[in-house]
C-alpha cells in the first residue's frame, strides 16, 4: 500500500470542494463575472446596489407591515442563515468540537478530521436544529457523552441529539427558554365535526408546533412532581373533545383519590370514584370497582366486535369511546389493598383496550416500576418537572436524559408549570413542550358546555 502524503490539499482546491458542497454560492461569482462583461464594472455596481436597496426596502416593509407572515416564513430563514455562518462554521465551530474532543486524527497522515455542519434550521428564536456529519470513528453515543461540554462550548441552555441516518446526527440547540408566556386554553368546538380526534391539541413544542395526541390510538402517561402541571394536559384535552363528551361519543371514567383535582367533573362523568376502599352505597363506585367495571365493559365490546367480525370499533353514540382518567396513579397501583386488586385489570386494559375503544390516561408523581408496574404499557408519555435524573429515563425511555431531556433541571417555580418533554416518535429526539393553561373558570365552562346535553343536529352522525 502506498504511503499517503501528510500535506493538505491547496486552499484553492479546498475552496472548490466547498463550492461543490454549496452549489448555490457558485452562482455568485458567475453572475458577477457575466454582469461585469456585459454591463461593465460601474453598471454591475449600480444594478447590484439597486437590487440590494429594493430588497432591503421590501424586507423592511414586510417586517413592519405583516409580522405574522414574516415570523412564519422569513424569520426562520434569516435566523438559520445568520446562526450558521456566525456560530456553526468557521473558528467558533472548530474550537467547540476540538475543545470537547469531538474530532479524530488520521493515524497515517496526521490529518485532523472535524464534524461538518450540513444544515441549520431555526424554526423559533430559542431553538436551532443542526444536522451534522460525524467523522469516522464516531457514533451517536460519542456525542451523547460529550453533550454537557458541547452545551457550554456553544453557550446553549440545552442540547439534544438523535440519529438521522448513518454518520449523520441532528443536534437540538436550545439557546433560551422557549416558553416565557402561558399558553391559553384551547377553544371548545361547537360541533363534533370540528374535532379531530387523531390530533387532540395539548399545547406547543419548542419548535413552535402544536403538541397533539391521538385520542383513539394511544394510552397517555403523564409524570411530574407536585405543581408540575399534570392536570393541564388532561384539562386541555377535555376542552378540545367537549362536543364528543356532550353528545355521548366519549364517556369519562374518572378516579380522583385526592378528591379535589377533578371534583368539578363529577357531575358530567359517566363514572366517578374517589375511594380506594370498597363502597357499597348505590351509585357510588370505589376506584377498584370502577376499574373492574371498565374492564367488563371492554370485554363485552370485544365479544360484540368478534361476533360482528369487526377488527376495530367505530365511535358512535351506540359504541362510545370510554376514557379512563386515573389521577395519582401511584396511590392506586402501589399502596394499600387496592393495588393488588387493580394491577391485573389495568394491565389487561392497557394491552387490549385499543381495538375496542377503551383508553387510559394515568397521572403520577413517582414513575418507578415499583409504584407503576404497568408504566411501559402506555404509548404516549410526557415527563414534566421531576425530582431526580433517573426518573427521566423511567418515563421517556433509556438514555432519554443523555439525549437532552433534562426534566429534572426544570426550576421548581410557578412559571414553569406545564413545561416538560416528550419523545419525537420518528427520530426519538427529546422535544421540550408546554401544556396549555386551563383555569378553574375555563374548566367550569367545559362542565357547563357538556351539561347542556347532546346536540341533536346532523353533527351526531360524524364518527372517527
Q: Which residues pair with 321 in a beta bridge?
A: 250
Q: How many CA atoms lie within 13 A of 376 on its CB side?
A: 7
The residues, ordered by sequence, that sit 6+ positions from 414 with a Cβ below 8 Å of its Cβ are 227
Structure-block grid coordinates of residue 215: 385520542
Does residue 293 have a pLDDT over 70? yes
Place of cell 346532523: 458
Predicted confidence band of residue 18 (pLDDT cuts 50, 70, 90): low
The residues, ordered by sequence, that sit 6+ positions from 367 with a Cβ below 8 Å of its Cβ are 221, 223, 375, 383, 386, 391, 394, 395
Quick: pLDDT tens for 272-284: 998 877 665 555 6
The residues, ordered by sequence, that sit 6+ positions from 219 with a Cβ below 8 Å of its Cβ are 350, 353, 354, 359, 360, 361, 362, 377, 378, 379, 380
What is the pLDDT at residue 309? 83
What is the pLDDT at residue 456? 57
What is the pLDDT at residue 146? 93
Quote the mean pLDDT of the chain.
87
Predicted confidence band of residue 463 (pLDDT cuts 50, 70, 90): very low
Predicted confidence band of residue 458 (pLDDT cuts 50, 70, 90): very low
Query: Can you tell me the mean pLDDT for 6-12?
Result: 68
Does residue 43 have a pLDDT over 90? no
Burial class (CB in 10 A: 0-12, 13-18, 19+), 154: buried
Does residue 58 have a pLDDT over 90? no
What is the pLDDT at residue 371? 87
More confident residue, 360 or 455: 360
Does residue 179 have a pLDDT over 80? yes
The residue extents of the domains of the chain are: 65-176, 192-461
What is the pLDDT at residue 61? 84
Does residue 176 have a pLDDT over 80? yes
Task: Provide the CATH number for the domain formed by 65-176 in this structure.
Answer: 3.30.980
Are the CB atoms for 130 and 117 separated by under 8 Å?
yes
Beta strands 321-326; 358-364: pairing state: parallel
Query: How far is Cα 464 from Cα 320, in angstroms, rounded to an integer?
Result: 10
DSSP 4: P
Q: What is the pTM of this model?
A: 0.83
Quick: pLDDT tens for 371-427: 899 999 999 999 999 999 999 999 999 889 988 899 999 999 999 999 999 998 877
Query: How far is Cα 236 from Cα 224, in angstroms, rounded to an integer?
Result: 17
Cα–Cα distances (Å) from 234 to 84, 213, 443, in that order, read 39, 11, 11
Does residue 442 have a pLDDT over 70? yes
Of all residues in the chain, what percent carry a pLDDT higher than 70?
89
What is the pLDDT at residue 303? 93
Predicted confidence band of residue 310 (pLDDT cuts 50, 70, 90): confident
Same fold: 65-176 with 192-461: no
Of all residues in the chain, what percent carry a pLDDT higher than 90?
57
What is 192-461's CATH topology? Rossmann fold (3.40.50)
Query: How far is Cα 22 from Cα 235, in angstroms, rounded to an integer?
Result: 48
What is the pLDDT at residue 462? 36
Quick: pLDDT tens for 69-95: 877 778 888 888 888 888 888 889 999
Query: How far is Cα 142 from Cα 452, in angstroms, rounded to an integer?
Result: 58
23-32, 34-43, 221-230, 331-340: least confident range? 23-32
Query: Can you tell me the mean pLDDT for 38-64?
Result: 75
Does residue 313 have a pLDDT over 80? yes
Quick: pLDDT tens for 194-213: 999 999 999 999 988 999 99
Are the CB atoms for 406 and 391 separated by under 8 Å?
no
What is the pLDDT at residue 133? 95
Closest CA relative to residue 293, chosen from 301, 413, 424:
301
Amino acid at each position: 500500500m502506498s504511503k499517503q502524503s501528510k500535506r493538505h490539499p491547496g486552499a484553492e482546491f479546498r475552496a472548490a470542494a466547498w463550492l461543490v458542497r454549496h452549489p448555490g454560492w457558485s452562482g455568485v461569482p458567475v453572475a458577477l463575472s457575466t454582469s461585469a462583461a456585459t454591463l461593465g464594472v460601474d453598471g454591475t455596481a449600480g444594478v447590484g446596489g439597486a437590487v440590494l436597496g429594493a430588497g432591503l426596502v421590501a424586507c423592511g416593509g414586510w417586517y413592519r407591515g405583516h409580522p405574522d407572515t414574516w415570523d412564519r416564513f422569513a424569520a426562520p430563514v434569516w435566523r438559520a442563515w445568520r446562526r450558521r455562518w456566525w456560530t456553526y462554521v468557521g473558528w467558533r465551530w472548530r474550537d467547540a468540537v476540538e475543545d470537547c474532543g469531538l474530532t479524530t486524527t488520521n493515524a497515517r497522515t496526521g490529518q485532523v478530521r472535524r464534524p461538518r455542519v450540513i444544515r441549520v434550521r431555526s424554526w423559533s428564536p430559542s431553538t436551532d436544529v443542526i444536522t451534522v456529519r460525524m467523522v469516522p470513528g464516531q457514533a451517536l453515543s460519542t456525542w451523547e457523552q460529550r453533550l454537557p461540554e458541547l452545551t457550554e462550548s456553544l453557550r446553549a441552555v440545552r442540547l439534544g441529539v438523535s440519529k438521522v441516518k448513518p454518520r449523520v446526527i441532528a443536534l437540538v440547540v436550545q439557546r433560551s427558554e422557549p416558553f416565557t408566556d402561558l399558553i391559553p386554553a384551547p377553544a371548545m368546538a361547537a360541533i363534533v365535526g370540528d374535532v379531530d380526534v387523531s390530533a387532540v391539541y395539548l399545547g406547543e413544542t419548542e419548535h413552535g408546533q402544536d403538541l397533539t395526541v391521538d385520542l383513539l390510538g394511544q394510552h397517555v402517561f403523564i409524570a411530574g412532581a407536585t405543581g408540575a402541571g399534570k392536570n393541564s394536559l388532561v384539562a386541555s384535552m377535555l376542552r378540545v373533545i367537549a362536543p364528543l363528551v356532550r353528545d355521548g361519543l366519549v364517556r369519562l371514567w374518572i378516579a380522583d383519590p385526592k378528591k379535589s383535582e377533578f371534583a368539578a367533573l363529577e357531575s358530567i362523568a359517566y363514572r366517578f370514584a374517589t375511594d380506594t376502599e370498597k363502597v357499597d352505597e348505590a351509585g357510588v363506585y370505589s376506584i377498584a370497582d370502577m376499574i373492574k367495571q371498565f374492564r367488563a365493559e371492554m370485554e363485552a365490546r370485544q365479544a360484540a366486535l368478534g361476533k360482528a367480525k369487526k377488527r376495530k370499533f367505530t365511535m358512535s353514540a351506540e359504541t362510545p369511546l370510554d376514557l379512563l382518567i386515573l389521577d395519582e396513579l401511584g396511590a392506586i397501583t402501589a399502596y394499600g389493598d387496592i393495588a393488588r386488586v387493580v394491577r391485573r385489570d389495568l394491565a389487561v386494559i392497557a394491552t387490549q383496550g385499543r381495538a375496542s375503544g377503551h383508553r387510559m390516561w394515568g397521572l403520577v408523581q413517582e414513575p418507578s416500576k415499583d409504584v407503576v408496574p404497568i408504566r411501559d404499557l402506555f404509548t404516549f408519555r410526557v415527563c414534566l418537572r421531576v425530582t431526580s435524573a433517573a426518573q427521566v429515563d423511567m418515563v421517556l425511555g433509556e438514555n432519554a436524559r443523555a439525549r437532552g431531556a433534562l426534566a429534572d433541571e426544570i426550576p421548581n417555580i410557578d412559571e414553569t408549570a406545564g413545561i416538560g418533554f416528550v419523545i419525537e416518535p420518528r427520530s426519538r429526539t427529546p422535544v421540550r413542550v408546554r401544556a396549555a393553561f386551563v383555569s378553574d373558570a375555563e374548566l367550569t365552562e367545559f362542565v357547563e358546555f357538556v351539561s347542556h346535553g347532546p346536540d341533536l343536529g346532523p353533527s351526531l352522525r360524524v364518527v372517527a
